[in-house]
Every structure is written in structure tokens, then in C-alpha cells.
Amino acid sequence: GYNGTIFAYGQTGTGKTFTMEGGEGDLKGIVPRTIDWIFGYIKKTTNIQYLVQVSFVEIYMEEVRDLLAKNTGTKLNIREKESGLFYIEDCKKVKVESPEEMHKLMLKGREMRKTGATLMNAGSSRSHSIFQIVVENSEVIDGETKYRMGKLNLVDLAGSERQGKTGATGERLKEGSKINLSLSILGNVISALVTGKDGSFI
């Protein structure tokens, strides 16, 4: 019944993507460990029905793309509901029933992410990625069915860059500029949330 977000933030080449995704066995990252924990918890509970869905998007050059869609090149729009909540229009949500299914979706999306080589990282992420897990459950309490929903956003941010260190030129330089701009705005948003100031800077 709670929402949460985990960011991997830092300079390019410092291991953010590995921290989030990891490798095999003991080298598993935050995302696969989270997947295993969620399904392990569900398996241990009784008399509660669960629905688990996942979506995976990237923000590349200030455009949102669906990493699980057949056409990942389609730009998605961000909309606002009457309630004030924001959502990604036409973003694909996939129902999953096992950790294996969700692991496959993570790997599928990872293969579609924009990456490129710089002097600091041969496989540098050129986009921010958001792996969102939505868990809904229903439980009968005193003869009445109660519903709860929680969302967890697992975010692998592209790394902040200095052109002098990365040696970026052309398209890589444009990507780096957009990455740094978006990270700067994100920092302002977080500061506003912490201090309670308005978001007129956006």
C-alpha cells in the first residue's frame, strides 16, 4: 500500500547500472533482489490475492520511450489526471506471475536502452531508465473485500558528465548536455520537496 523510489545517481562510469542490475548469484543488483523479495513475500502469505505488473521506460534526449513495447522508438507523452497525478500515456504494463518472468522483462528492456562509448565508460548509459513494479492485493476483512496498491520505481540515472573527461563530441556531446540538464532539474525538484518551496523553476 505504499509508493517508493530508489535512484542510482552519480558520475558516469561509477557503477550505477551494475548496482541496479548486477550480475549472477551473489552479484545480483537491487532490481533482481527486489523482484525475488516481492515474490518470496507473496509466496509466504495466505488468503490474499496479488496482481503484479511491471513497466520499463527510458528518458532519452528528453523523450520518453517504452522499453517493453514492440516499437521502442515511439515517443510517449506524459499526462496529468484531474487528481493532479502524472502518468505516461500508452505505457505498456505487463502482468507477471513469477520472478523468472520479471527477470526476463528486465533483461529485454536493458537490451533496448540507449548506450554509447565515452573515454570514461565503454558502455555508458545515454538515458535514464525507470523500472516500475506495481503490486495490488485484495483481502477479505470482516466480510468486505479491501484493496491496496503500491508502486516501486527503480531508477538508473544516466551519469553526470564533464566533456573534458569524456571526450564527447557530436551526438555524444548533445546527449551529455541533455543528461546534465535533466540531472540539474531533478536536483532542484528534490530540494523543493525537502524544503517545501514551490516548483516554479521547472
The span from the CA of 36 to the CA of 100, in Å, is: 9
CB 94 within 8 A of CB 85: no
Rounded Cα–Cα distance for residues 184 and 136 (Å) = 34
Model confidence over 48-67: pLDDT tens digits?
A: 999 999 999 999 888 899 99
- Report, as an integer, the average pLDDT of 160-187: 72
d(CA 53, CA 134): 5
> Dihedral of CA 80/82/85/89: which sign?
negative
pLDDT at position 114: 72
pTM above 0.75, yes or no: yes
Top-confidence residue, 120 or 144: 144
